[in-house]
Structures are given as C-alpha cells and as structure tokens.
Structure 1
Amino acid sequence: MNNVGTWVRSWGASPQSAHDGIGSLDDQAPLADVTLRQVVRISGGGHRVRIRFTNEFGTAPFTIGAAQVGLATPGGGVQPGSERVLTFSGASAVTVPAGAPILSDPVDLPLPALAKLSISLYLPGRVETCTCHDPALDTGWKIPGDTVAALTLPENAEVLPVRALISAVEVLSGAPAKAIVVVGDSRTDGAGSTPDTNHSWPELLAERLAGAGYVSNQGISGNRMLNDGIGTGVLARFDRDVLATPGLGYVVLSLGGNDIGISFAPRDDGPLADFLKMFPGAPVTVDDVIAGFRQLVARAHERGVKVYATTIAPFEGAEIYTPEGESARLAVNAWIRTGGAFDAVLDFDAVWHDPDRPSRIREDLHSGDHLHGNDAGYQALADSIDLSLFS
C-alpha cells in the first residue's frame, strides 16, 4: 500500500443547521429512503481519498446504508471503473451520532488536481435534522431508494438544494502538502457567481495554483465573525472549520463586512427589518471587529500557520449600506493594512472599488446587488493574489 505524502484537505464546505441557512430546505420533506448524489471539485490531487460526512447539527443519529465515490461525469454520472465503495472501520454501513462527523476509510483512487468527484450515500432511515451547507453552488440530486451504485443518474432524480451531510474531501498527496483554508461570508462562498462553474474566488485561486495548492473554502453566506446568525459565527466555528484541518498551512480571513453592515444597517419597519431579525446580538464597533481579528490571529499562530487577511470590499448600493457603516469599513481596512497583525494583506477593496466612487463596487464586477461579485469580480480577486504567499 502506497502511503507516501500527507493527508490534506482538498475540498470543504462548512456545516450548518438546516434551520440556520438561507432556508433552502424549509419546504422539503425530511430525507428518508433516498440516495444523495453530490459533485465536488477538489483542489489539489492525490492517490488516496477519504470523505468526511457530518451530523454535527443533527438532533438524532442517522444511518448511512451504503456510500460510494468516483470520478464525476456530466449530468450526474460516474466514470466507469473509477467507482469505489466506501466503508467505515471496514463496514459498509454506519450510524453517525448526533453532533458528530465521521470519516470514511481511505480508498485508493488516483486523482488529478481539480478533479470532480461524485459522492453518493444511501439513507435507509429518516434524517431528523439535516446538517448541510446552504446554498450549494454545485448541483446535487436525491433519488428514491438505494441507487448508490448507478453509473448514470436515474430519471427520477430531483435536485438537492443544499450540500447535505458531507463537509470535506481529504486526499493523501504524493508529497508533503499544506492546506489553504479561506474563512469568510457570502463573498467567499461564491454568492453571485454562476452555479456549476466553480467561480468562487477560492476555487479560482485553486485553478491559479494549478495543483500546487490545496484550498478549502469555509465561507458561509450571511456569516459573521463575532455573532451567530446565518451559520455559527467564525469565532465559535474556527477550531472545527479551520484549525482542525488536516495539513493546515495557511489561513485567509475574509471577514468583518457583515459584522459592520448588520451593525450599522438602517433600522426601519420594512422588509429589511425582517431580514435583520436573523442576526441576533448587539451592534458591534470597529474596536470589536479588530479585537475579533486579533483573537483569530492568535489562535492560528498558536498552530504555527501563517494568517493573511483581505480588506473589506465596498457595499454602497446594497440595502444594508449607511454612511456610518462605510466609515467603520474604512477604519477596519486601515487597521488591516497598517496594524501589522497579519503575515500578509490581500487588498480586495483596492481590486473591487470604483475609482470614481470608492464606496461602491465597480459596475462590471458585481452581480447586480452592489454587494456580491459576478464571475468577473471573483476572477479579479483571485488574479490579484500573489501566489508566492503559498510557496
């Protein structure tokens, strides 16, 4: 058995409660007697692979009756000959305890960088609360019954609106390798990009690294650093989603925008007020955000990893914008650039802002909401990163 290299995370999606996302599962029946088939694109390659399944927000155990992994083909298929049965301590079925993740046994499967994997799992019983990542920007499916071994997608497949019950793909690399973990909000998650094209900026960074880097995207849409809301706040999830990453070498913090935007958002009785109810906790200050960054840097440096930060991109034109929020954004960005807390700074504000109106994103780089990037916007962020930071 060839065990050369190190285990390293090549793909990730931060777990969330089904009731703690943007609501994609609100009208869905509980999962029961179904097969889930989901496609993920890894960053760096390897010769062995294992899958991390998750019940971390589950209220009861659930059972995986069967699971397989293989190279994905378009339309939900699996490349013949690449399929591998997944086991758990040698058994083909496993019960995942409430609140816990579970790793599959490793299987031999040569994987080039940027390979697309198909991951299928059969759920014979009911999943009371689905731990997920919401939304999924890669199409997945649910199929009645046990169709784990099907090489083509059955005709009765329905689209699965979230990333369900899987949180990571880890590979055994052919040489020593370090993972780059990006933790952030919807701009990291890829909101506004074209689905099924892998156009979040962390995925585009992985393309630029061309197999020389392993990138795990731990962005959650609507996430904050200091408080929960949509997803657990970063200070609370940092150990699980970042510091526990196999092969961790670099952390990129792309945070603070939602903390500021929510805290300084207009307060009225309109639709925005209902949206703001999703974000508990008192408003935070510039000093609070800076203190949060300092905590994350200290915790990462304890592990001997480098910590980089992105500046906060502008958001004038979005519903949550206020001049007070803009002043806070500029103050935090000034500290990120000059405070000396980080091993390097990625100046995303400089890449995205309109030179004629620096409080706004350039018109050709946002998705229409003045808040999130489009494909070109995320490409511009990825292209601006100095790749030597990860060598």
Structure 2
Amino acid sequence: MTESRDLGWIRSWATSPQMTDAVFADVTLRQEIRISGGGRRVRIRLTNEYGTAPLTVGAGRLGLATAGGGIAPGSDRVLTFGGRAGVVIPAGAPVLSDPVDLPVSALARLSVSLYLPNRVEACTGHDMPLDTGWVIPGDAVAEAALPGDAEPLPAWALVSAVEVLPDEPAGVVVVLGDSRVDGVGSTAGGGWPERLAERGVYVCGQGISGNRLLNDGLGPSGLARFDRDVLATPGLSHVVVSIGLNDIAVSFAPRVGPLADFLTMFPGEPVTAQDVIAGFRQLIDRGHDRGVRVYATTMAPYGGNDIFSPEGEAVRRTVNDWIRTSDAFDAVLDFDAVWRDPTRLDRIRGDLHEGDHLHGNDAGYQALADSIDPSIFK
C-alpha cells in the first residue's frame, strides 16, 4: 500500500455537503475555518451539490482570521476562479478556487468571505452549528473588520473543503462517521478529529449527525457518500470508519411516544449484525482498491438514551467483537473501551457525555483523541 504522497494537494479541512434550509440574497457570508495541517498555498472548495439551480458567487476573499471576525493585516487575498473574480457553480457541482499564495501554519484559522448577489434558496452546506460565521448585507468581502450589521450564520454554507500544498510529503486521514464524528455535545470545533489534528495529523472529519452506514435518512448513507466524501480526497492515505451505531439503534429502538415520530426520518428495514459487517467489508474493499489503509473505531455505548434497547445493545457488542477480532481492518481504535463505564458496560462514563448518554462532551472527545497513537498514520 502507499505509505507516502508526492507534494501534491492535501485536504486540510472538510465538512460533508448536505441540503440546508438557509436562504440568502445580496449578502456576504464570512466563515472561519481552523485547518489541520499547514502549507504554502491554499485553495477553497465550494459546493452547490444539492442546489437546484446555478449559484453565482460574485466575489470572494481569503485571509487569516483575527478575533471578532476580522482579517489579519497583510493576509487578505482575492479568490479567483479560472482567473475571474466570480464564478457560477452549476447545480449539483462543486468548484475549486484558483490557488492562493498564502503560507499557513498547522491549526491556522482562515476567514473565507463570499458575496452572493442573487437569491439562493437551495443552499448546500452542513447542518452543524458554528459560532464563527456571519451574514453581512451587501458586498462586504473586502472589509477587514466585521461590520456592525453582521448577524450570526447558523450553520456551514457553501464551503466544503480547504486544501493546501504542504512543505513536505504528507497524507490525510478522513473519518467517515455520524454525530460523534461531528462533535455533537462539544463546544464548537471540539470533536475528536479536531483534537487529533492538534497532535500533528492532517485530518478531515466527514461526519453527519444521524447518519447511517446502510440506509439514507439524515444525509446519504455512508456507503453512498464514501466515494465523494472519502475516496475523492486529495492526499488521502488513511480512512477511519466510525459509523454504524445509528443503523443498529434505529432498528431496535422502541416505537413509542415522541420517539416514534422521530424514527420516521430513518426509512428502511431493520438491520442485523451481519448486515453491518457486510457494509464494513464493502468500505474496506473499496478503500484497499484505492491503496489506502482502512481503520475502524468500535461503537461506544448508548445505554440511558431514549433510543437504547437491549436488542440493539446485543448487536452492538456482536459487531464490536467482530471489529476487534476479525483482522478485517488495518487497525482498530477501541472507543468503546475508552468511553464505557466499568460498572455499566452499556453506558458512557458520566464525566464523558453531554448528559444524553449518547454524545460526548469536551472531555469525552478529548479522551478519544488522546487514546490514538498518531504514529499509526505515518
């Protein structure tokens, strides 16, 4: 298998594209992004993949972010697309900006400003709250300081990846997952892939809250988006599969009260342990065909959450045993062992979850990142 990469483009940050209900017109979107690894040049990937009409970006800027939504002096760069200041992105398509000469260090915070002159109704983004994004009336891409009429942007919009040219050979780790990869329950940007990046790893978290491996529902299934979100990643060297618990939990959850209405968002027949394992084998084969290593995390507990059932717990343990013992994956990260309560093996330790017995808090996600030896990605 490939152990290193030439000095080509490396994806340093990414978020999985989704349909959002945001509507914009004649506004500037300013979003701050903390990349994982650095490089000497940068390009931005914009997405209209769920758009139903062409999307016009009238102007764009890139710079190093400062506190309060500002741009560091001397770092402001104009974004161009094929040499032009704006671009029309076809419905269903992404677009890459031209490379920008801007040296960036690992964990640098970038500011991306995009002016949208026309009405955008079907906006592709990522349904995860952020505290470092703003909507500004009119064309404000060149404003070094955040204008006073800026309003909070509730979720990621249009920007799906940041790529860099590194100064030395490197590979990127892409994590395919659900809400636990998205960092639900943590402060903004506090998920375990972000914490892993702080240990010198180029890493992209491709989590979708509520996502499943085998069936669509909240976003396309892991099997359906694997090529787009993972295998198409520039510089890909390792995949971490951290998905499947929602398949199991939804299959056996009690259909009573408000939970029954919630579960209607998850179509498809109940799955078995063998169904999930077969899905994992598909990802392994597809990853190995591209010459990348495929790792897995075990599924951490969820006892105490409304979606828990004894039947689902039995399947979770069966699949975890297979992950640990089958040697099907190139390596295993035992997140179940990190999070489980030694006195209640079906539950997360009380100090590691956000209160719902399903998602981590900042300490929980930090514990997952700390359990990983970064050398396994070399």
Give the TM bin, normalised by the shorter chain. Answer: over 0.9
Q: Is there any run of 5+ residues in structure 1 with no aligned partner, and where?
A: 19-24
Structure 1 length-normalised TM:
0.94
Q: Distance in 1 between matches of 2:151 and 2:253?
A: 38
Q: What is the CA deviation profile of residues 110-168 of structure 1, one whole-angstrom value per residue up to 9, with x for unaligned ones?
A: 10000000000000001120001011334211111000011111111111111000100
Q: Say which of 261, 270, 280 aligns to 1:293.
A: 280
The answer to whether residue 12 in structure 2 is matched with residue 52 in structure 1 is no
Aligned AA for 1:207?
E
After TM superposition, give the deviation of residue 334 of structure 1 in Å. Answer: 0.4
Give yes or no for the alignment of 1:38 onto 2:38. no
Q: Partners in 2 of 1:285 and 1:74 — Cα distance? A: 49
Matched, 1:247 2:235: yes
CA deviations 1:295-340 (Å, max 9, x no partner) are: 0000000010001000000000111000001000000000000111
Runs of 4+ deviating beyond 6 Å: none
The one-letter amino acid of 1:226's match is: L
Measure, in 2, the Cα distance between the counterparts of 1:326 and 1:176.
42
- RMSD of the TM alignment (CA)? 0.9
8 Å Cα contact 2:69-2:145 kept in structure 1: yes
**Corresponding residue number in structure 2 for 1:124:** 117
Counterpart pick for 1:13 among 3, 12, 15: 15
The TM-score with structure 2 as length reference comes to 0.97
Identity %: 69
1:94 maps to which residue?
Answer: 87
Paired residue for 2:249?
261
Q: Is the 2:186–2:354 Cα contact (8 Å) retained in structure 1?
A: yes
- Which amino acid counterpart does residue 325 of structure 2 have in structure 1? T
Q: Secondary structure at the match of 2:136?
A: strand
Counterpart position of 2:350:
363
Tell me the distance in 1 between the aligned counterparts of 2:148 and 2:305. 41
AA in 1 matched with 2:270: P
1:208 aligns with 2:196: no
The correspondence for 1:217, drawn from 205, 213, 219, is: 205
Is the contact between residue 40 and residue 138 of structure 1 (CA under 8 Å) also seen in structure 2? no
In the other structure, the counterpart of 2:66 is 73
Q: Which amino acid aligns with 2:193?
A: P
Contact 1:223 1:231 in 2 (8 A): yes
Q: Is the 8 A contact 2:247 2:271 kept in 1?
A: yes
Q: Contact 1:6 / 1:175 at 8 angstroms: preserved in 2? A: no
1:276 maps to amino acid? L
Partner of 2:3: none
Q: How many residues align?
A: 373
Q: Check conservation: 1:33, 1:126, Cα contact below 8 A.
A: yes
Moved more, 126-135 or 360-369: 126-135
The answer (yes or no) to whether the contact 2:130–2:153 under 8 Å persists in 1 is: no
Counterpart amino acid of 1:152?
A: A
Q: Does the residue aligned with 1:32 lie in a helix, a strand or coil?
A: coil
Contact 1:48 / 1:108 at 8 angstroms: preserved in 2? yes
Structure 2: gaps of 5 or more residues:
1-5
Q: Quick check: 1:139–1:161 contact (8 Å CA) kept in 2? A: no
Counterparts of 1:54 and 1:138, CA distance in 2: 21
Q: Do the aligned partners of 1:6 and 1:174 also contact (CA within 8 Å) in 2?
A: no
